Structure 1
Amino acid sequence: MSSSFDNFQKRRLISSYFSVVLSVFLVLFLLGILGLFIINSKKLANDFKENIAMTVFFKNEANDSIVKAFGTQIKASPFVKSYTYVTKEAAAKEHTDIIGEDFMEFLGENPLQNSYDIHLKGDYVINDSITKIEAGLRQNTMISDIVYDKQLVNLVNDNIKKVSMWILVISVFLAFIAVLLINSSLRLSIHSNRFIIKTMQMVGATKAFIRKPFVMRSIKLGMIGAALAVLALIGVLIYVETSFPNLGILEDKAMIGLVLLAVLGIGVLITWLSTYFATQRFLNLRTDDLY
């Protein structure tokens, strides 16, 4: 009978430990994913904004030297990420491939113009900066027109602001949920030992002496859960880097390392504080209140 009860207690204890580790793992994994997304959100936003092309068209009288001089100018410009020179012949061929027939046969000439497709750096794809860049380029009298999707620029910037705000809200919400879940799991674990705590206290053990094994055990469980979360996050990073190498998600190794260390630190901190206050609560209860 005693052996059966001991086995039951062991199973319940293992189940309690497992629930704590699982809670810590799941919560810290979600927080880690959010942290990694936050540090890469600017890069992702810039990557999207840098795909918006500004096309600069030249007048027909602009000769090759003028066009090449413009290429040299924008190459040295701090706001240019990349650029491509498109001759009017190449543009005509592209249009022919798209529409499926040669429009120059009907017109008798090529009405298109030589142009540069310029991709700006993400930090410059905002309304004020892109307007100033456009105004500066238009000072070149050989430029006939500058075209880019202004509505798309406005839409992208507005959506980035909204997403950033929601990320902040979700981060605070998840952090709050993390504390509640981990705290609840640890309190349930300590609740099952409340009579042991009170017995130790009644035979003269100090509060610090009673708390120590519970705190140390919880910190170990927190470290196990946090370590599992870190391993899972590393796996996610490797998968994303392998599947989407253009994102360069592993470039900022210092910030990634900081997020992973923060996950470990949060796992230890939350379990320590939760165990400390949960144990203190049972230490302060009267014996009658334990029931």
Structure 2
Amino acid sequence: MTSTYEKYQKRKLISSYFSVILSIFLVLSLLGALSLFVINSERISNNFRENIPINLFFTDNATQKEFDQFSKKLGEAPYVKSFKFVSKEEAAETQKEDLGEDFLEFLGYNPLQNSYDIYINGEYVVTDSLTKIEAELLKTPNINEIAYDKQLVELVNDNIKRITNWVLIIAGILTVISMLLINSSLRLLIFSSRFTIKTMQMVGATKRFIRRPFIWHSMRLGLIGSILAVIALVALTFYLDKKFPDLELSPTTNYMPLVIVGSGLILAGIIITTISTFFATQRFLNLKSDELY
């Protein structure tokens, strides 16, 4: 009979340990993913911005020497990420493939212009900076037109700002929820040991002496849960890097954000469990014997 009861208590205790570790793992995994997004938000937003091209068209009076000089100027410009010169012949070939027919035979001449496809560094893809860049480029002789999607630029910037703000709010809410959830799980775990706590207190053990093993045990559970959360975060990062290689999220090359978030998660797991256990044990230490039931 005693053996059966002991087995039941052991299973109950293991179940309590599992629920605490699971709570820590789930909450810290979500918090870590959001934190990683916030840290990499500039990189992610720049990736979207840098895919918005500026099309610059030259008149037919432009010479090859002017193209060479302009290419050199773009290569030295701090705001240019990359650029490509598209001759009117290349543009005609592309147009022919898109239309599925040779429009040059129908028109009898090539109406297209020599142009540049310019991609700007992400931090410059804002309305004010693009206006200044446009004014500077227009000073170049024989430039006919500069075209880019201004509405798309404003839309991307507004959405990135809005998403970042919402992620910060959600991360703050999750932090509070994580503390409450982990605290609740630990209180249930310590609740099962309330009679042991009171017995130790009655034989003269100090509060500090009674709290110490519970705190150390909870810290170990917090460490296990946070390490599992870090492993899940690493796996998520590898998955995202495989799906979206342009974001450059690979832990092997861009490991600092992961190190920062991972260290923060482990520290958070230990600190939250320590504080929660301290107050949970304190509550049962202050209870009278008849209140334990």
Partner Cα separation in structure 1 for residue 55 and residue 290 of structure 2: 80
Corresponding residue for 1:206?
206
Partner Cα separation in structure 2 for residue 4 and residue 64 of structure 1: 92
Corresponding residue for 1:184?
184
Partner Cα separation in structure 1 for residue 176 and residue 101 of structure 2: 61
Partner Cα separation in structure 2 for residue 161 and residue 271 of structure 1: 34
Alignment check: 8 A CA contact 2:56 2:115 kept: yes
Corresponding residue for 2:90?
90
Cα offset, 1:242, TM superposition: 3.1
Q: Which SS does the other structure have where 2:81 is aligned? A: strand
Cα offset, 1:253, TM superposition: 1.7
Q: Which SS does the other structure have where 2:144 is aligned? A: strand
Structure 2: segments with no counterpart, 5+ residues: none
Structure 1: segments with no counterpart, 5+ residues: none
Tell me which of 247, 258, 261 is aligned to 2:260. Answer: 258
Corresponding residue for 1:235?
235
What root-mean-square deviation, in Å, do the aligned CA atoms of Structure 1 and Structure 2 show?
Answer: 1.0
Aligned length: 291
Cα offset, 1:31, TM superposition: 1.1
State the one-letter code of the partner of 1:221: L
Say which is worse superposed, 272-281 or 223-232, in terms of deviation.
Answer: 223-232
Matches within 5 A, 1:102-181: 102-181=102-181
User: Could you give the per-residue CA deviations for residues 117-158 of structure 1, whole angstroms, max 9, x where no partner exists?
Assistant: 000000000000011000110111310000000010010011
Alignment check: 8 A CA contact 2:222 2:269 kept: yes
Cα offset, 1:172, TM superposition: 0.4
Alignment check: 8 A CA contact 2:234 2:258 kept: no
Cα offset, 1:114, TM superposition: 0.3
Tell me which of 263, 279, 282 is aligned to 1:280. Answer: 282
User: Could you give the per-residue CA deviations for residues 157-192 of structure 1, whole angstroms, max 9, x where no partner exists?
Assistant: 110110011011111011111111111100000011
State the one-letter code of the partner of 1:42: E
TM-score, normalized by length of structure 1?
0.98
Partner Cα separation in structure 1 for residue 233 and residue 92 of structure 2: 48
State the one-letter code of the partner of 2:122: G
Q: Identity rate of aligned residues, in percent?
A: 53
Alignment check: 8 A CA contact 2:47 2:246 kept: no
Say whether 1:271 aligns with 2:273. Answer: yes
Partner Cα separation in structure 2 for residue 109 and residue 123 of structure 1: 41
Partner Cα separation in structure 2 for residue 126 and residue 228 of structure 1: 40
Partner Cα separation in structure 2 for residue 100 and residue 75 of structure 1: 35
Q: Which SS does the other structure have where 2:280 is aligned? A: helix
TM-score, normalized by length of structure 2?
0.97
User: Could you give the per-residue CA deviations for residues 78-133 of structure 1, whole angstroms, max 9, x where no partner exists?
Assistant: 00000000000100111111111111222211111100000000000000001100
Corresponding residue for 1:194?
194
Corresponding residue for 1:9?
9
Corresponding residue for 1:52?
52
Partner Cα separation in structure 1 for residue 230 and residue 150 of structure 2: 42
Q: Which SS does the other structure have where 2:111 is aligned? A: coil
User: Could you give the per-residue CA deviations for residues 212-251 of structure 1, whole angstroms, max 9, x where no partner exists?
Assistant: 0100100011111111111121122222223333321134
Partner Cα separation in structure 2 for residue 246 and residue 140 of structure 1: 32
